[in-house]
Amino acid sequence: MATAASTNTALLPPQFGQQQQRRPLFTPFLFNNNKSAATYPLLVFPSPSNTRRHVTLSASLLERANEVRKSWSGISSLNNWVVKDYYRLVNSVNSFEPQIHDLSDEQLSAKTVEFRRRLREGETLAHIQAEAFAVVREAAKRKLGMRHFDVQIIGGAVLHDGAIAEMKTGEGKTLVSTLAAYLNALTGEGVHVVTVNDYLAQRDAEWMGRVHRFLGLSVGLIQRGMKSKERRSNYRCDITYTNNSELGFDYLRDNLATNHEQLVMRWPKPFHFAIVDEVDSVLIDEGRNPLLISGEDNEDAARYPVASRLAELLIKGLHYSIELKDNSVELTEEGIALAELALETSDLWDEKDPWARFVMNALKAKEFYKRDVQYIVRNGKALIINELTGRVEEKRRWSEGIHQAVEAKEGLKIQADSVVVAQITYQSLFKLYPKLSGMTGTAKTEEKEFLKMFQIPVIEVPTNLPNIRNDLPIQAFATARGKWEYAREEVEFMFRLGRPVLVGTTSVENSEYLSDLLKERKIPHNVLNARPKYAAREADTVAQAGRKYAITISTNMAGRGTDIILGGNPKMLAKEILEESILPFLTQHVPEVDVDGEPNSQKVLSKIKVGPSSLALLSKAALMAKHVSKNESKKWSYQEAKSMISESIELSQSVEIKELQKQADEQSEFYPLGPSIALTYVSVLEDCVSHCLNEGLEVKRLGGLHVIGTSLHESRRIDNQLRGRSGRQGDPGSTRFMVSLQDEMFQKFNFDTEWAVKLISRITNNEDIPIEGHGIVKQLLGLQINAEKYFFGIRKSLVEFDEVLEVQRKHVYDLRQLILTGDFESCSEHIFKYMQAVVDDVIFKSVNPQKHPSNWCLDKILKEFKDLAGEILDDSFAGITEEALLNSLVQLRKLQSVSIDNFSLPNLPPTPNIFRGIRGKTSSFRRWLAICSDDSTKHGKYREMVNFLRKYLGDFLIASYLDVIQESGYDAVYVKEIERAVLLKTLDCFWRDHLINMNRLSSAVNVRSFGHRNPLEEYKIDGCKFFISMLSATRRLTVECLLRYWSSRMESQELYI
């Protein structure tokens, strides 16, 4: 029986050697393979008598067995065979490299024209793929100084094939995207590269855009705040960089446009091919939150503060109960009685005086929506914190009155209630792409979901260098206090060694709690969370998190985006030096960043040694900036000054040094500030590269970046994202996750953790001491997988429910775009179809094809038809009686043949002679064919008579309508504008109401499960009925509005009354 276990000496504070009793470890020797570390006492469970006979394996033998198992698993996996197949493409690309290398810049750029010509002549993208990839590789080498590795070629091929490329952090996913983006942009149909925020979209458009622009492609960028004209221009580019929310809202806004000029996307085919960066974040993490465009509804705003004060009086457990897992609240009998008494109402659910919704929302705001966790308060507004990214989402608001309830709880001004005008989920949005691909560092754990929901496989692309990161066992604590204390001690020990540390927390509150603990020990550190004072320096903070002595405490903001380079990011350091030297001379508006005293750990980070030549250039650039600002009376804002420096830095990367020097000399009389800053940046960058390289080597010797996770998330992917910040591109590094049984995840899902508490107490007699080992890890990961399954069920349900709405949305939006972008003739055809459909509805309600016309309600048909048509009918039709119509139908049945051309019922007024010309006759005949082939008409002996009646009344209404328009004297353009406006307005009005009804239905059908009925099936059935009714009401109102308008000549502002 083993009596000692090893652990990593780099992870234990020095005092641990003197206080072994305080930190015993539960680490079975079978799972410990670090031989070089010091030994510590191991707590061992006695073996039962019936299991004493066992075989003990050495750690080295077990390690060898694990390696064999992993090797065999890799060889036999489907992923391995797929990757091997891609190496054929890699070999082909490599064979093109010598001849592409010999091309001049002009010849290389001309390859794009050649490829497009070959595509027009019948070749496919597969024919030119290898050569195109070789061209992009060479262009990147010339413009960015980066050559695609072979594994990056594989990544590009995976994206082109419409799959998800899983590539570890630091493997160059951004560069990989250029391959598939370029190849698919050659078709001229547009490629969207979708990122998770504006910063990354702008960075990638500027950075990777150099490759595409060099090769002759146009590159667009969509950013928040852009005008429609800019958006339209950028969407017309060959490659457009945007973020997922802007893309979704542009699609929704285009489907709310009232004229063709307001459209910004590439209609009629706005979607062709998309590359989604961090695809798991967009399609899975954001999958629970649909995109909404809302109108304002000011009703009942005063009820929220009243409900909020009532919620403070109600006591949990006595007046209401909560369910953390799904954020639900249920009032008890005592709670209902107290609420009704306080609100002076006899029924909280009274439709005339509804209070239940407001009380429930106030209780949810009280229990589930915590300040500095789910939201922060800034400038008098409650701003949502994305729980998965840690970032503030200023434009997002909770729906169904939750946001107003939070505002009331905080005593803020109540914003207007939202009424949904348009909505779509990210799943439905990206399903609109005929070809979709994505890239991320963490997707394999969700591969089944991607296959089930989107039919997209996940291909794990091998790393360029082996991953040598050491993922240490999870430590489990009984209490949160013990966890935070050990986290502080581990950070402190790493700081004494000089190793950089990144600590991941789940909320603003937790990050600041740990920060306070470190301040007590006077350990300098950076904090990165959603608060403005920290978030403003997000990219800079993360970029320098790999420097020696750097301690960074972050929410999930640090999980994605900027790479953490050991020794620091030289480009960002050089830019920072430039800004510190030049900005004060360019602008007087440099903001002071409030970060609670010492802004960061700069006082312990090594200073950058800037050489004499760089110092001289910095002084020259600063002096020039001062002269430009003073002598040319140029007043720069802070953002303008920063943009000017950024443009100069970009100039330095796109123009040769000799050319920059030439520009500086030529503009010497005009203060060549831009070229001077560019030259200075190049010199300072050389110094920074040298400094970061040396410091990076020192950090590697110390063990690299150490990542500490202070809680398990609801998904293994989020944890893996944090782990992936360490061990970038073959660098050394280590990770450690610490969890306490008081963490939110265990409470939220009501996981049974009593066994673990008893185990810890039995082993340590101290609840603040952790245990670790294979058994504990297996149990905790099992709980995490259960949480993943729960949220997968939510997303699956959301997708299944949204698929019902997706079909309806597609029908409405296709119809809308047809109306909006179609010509005048197509608009008229829609009006005629609507009129015929309305007439059909009138007739179908009062006839039975299986019975003689004498049994039909002909009087009801005539009355409703006359009410519908109103004043546009001539006097001859007004005199038609029920008896005359019946006689005509009987006489029609006796006729041997009937002419459809200029058809009318016998002995009844003929239709106005308006169907003149080939177009009019063709339109009339097309409607008759539609009537004859209509399956909605019941079969029966008198079905033909029903169809003739439909034909007669439909033609009469349409002909009378056209006659009235002709008599009005308005030109055709004005008439069609009115028709289009009415069509769009009524469709939008009823679609908005339909969305509200469908949202209410999705909540209501869940109750039906108590009656052993499937909520999804109920939603489909009732949703279909709602949609049919909505279309019928839309047609009816459209026809009534047009008939009323032309018959009464109402003013345009009365059009929609």
Per-residue confidence (pLDDT) for residue 162, from 0 to 100: 93
- As a whole number of angstroms, the distance between CA 374 and CA 383 comes to 9
What's the distance, CA 994 to chain centroid?
25
Q: Are 393 and 386 in contact (CB under 8 A)?
A: yes
Identity of residue 57: L
Distance between CA atoms of 183 and 186, rounded to whole angstroms?
A: 6
Give the pLDDT band of residue 432 (cuts 50, 70, 90): very high
Measured over the CA atoms of residue 388, residue 392, residue 394 and residue 400, the dihedral's sign is positive
Per-residue pLDDT for 593 more than 70? Answer: no
* Count of alpha carbons within 13 angstroms of residue 865, beta-carbon side: 33
pLDDT at 879: 76
Prediction pTM value = 0.77
Write b or e for each residue in 872-887: b if 16 or more Cβ atoms lie within 10 A of its Cβ, otherwise e.
bbeeebeebeeeebbb
Mean pLDDT of all residues in 476-486: 85
pLDDT at 536: 59
Half-sphere exposure of 205 (CA within 13 A, CB side): 25
- pLDDT at 823 exceeding the cut of 80: no
Contact 544, 569 (CB under 8 A): yes
CA gap 184, 660 in Å, rounded: 35
Q: What is the mean pLDDT of the chain?
A: 80
pLDDT in tens, 624-652: 877 777 765 566 777 777 788 888 887 77
Cα(418)–Cα(428) distance, rounded to whole angstroms? 22
- How many CA within 13 A on the CB side of residue 648? 26
Given pLDDT bands bounded at 50, 70 and 90, which one contains residue 430? very high
Using only C-alpha atoms, the chain has a radius of gyration, in whole angstroms, of 35
Question: 839-849: per-residue pLDDT in tens?
Answer: 988 888 888 88
Phi, psi of 455 (to 5 degrees): 55, 40
12 pLDDT higher than 60: no
Mean pLDDT of 378-405: 78
Better pLDDT: 352 or 29:
352
DSSP string, 568-594: --HHHHHHHHHHHHHHHHH-S-PPPP-
How far are the Cα atoms of 71, 102, 113, 134, 658 from residue 106, in angstroms, in the given order? 47, 12, 11, 16, 20
Mean pLDDT score, 976-991 = 90
Position 535 scores a pLDDT of: 60
Q: Report helix, strand or coil for 254.
A: helix
**Does residue 9 register a pLDDT over 60?**
no
Among 162, 242, 230, 240, which residue's Cα sits nearest to residue 199? 242
Percentage with pLDDT > 70 across the chain: 82
pLDDT in tens, 251-273: 999 998 888 888 999 988 999 99
Q: Supply the pLDDT for residue 447.
A: 86
Q: What does the pLDDT read at residue 670?
A: 52
Alpha helices in 186-316 (DSSP H): 198-207, 209-214, 228-235, 244-254, 279-283, 303-313
pLDDT above 90 covers a percentage of the chain that reads 23
Backbone angles phi, psi at 328, to 5 degrees: -110, 155
Residue-level pLDDT at 451: 87
Place of tokens 């309806």: 808
Sequence-distant (6+) residues with CB within 8 A of 140 are 146, 147, 148, 175, 178, 211
Alpha-carbon dihedral of residues 457, 458, 459, 460, nearest 10 degrees? -160
Q: At CA 364, angle to CA 362 and CA 370, rounded to 5? A: 105
Structure confidence at residue 532 (pLDDT): 67
Does residue 200 have a pLDDT over 90? no
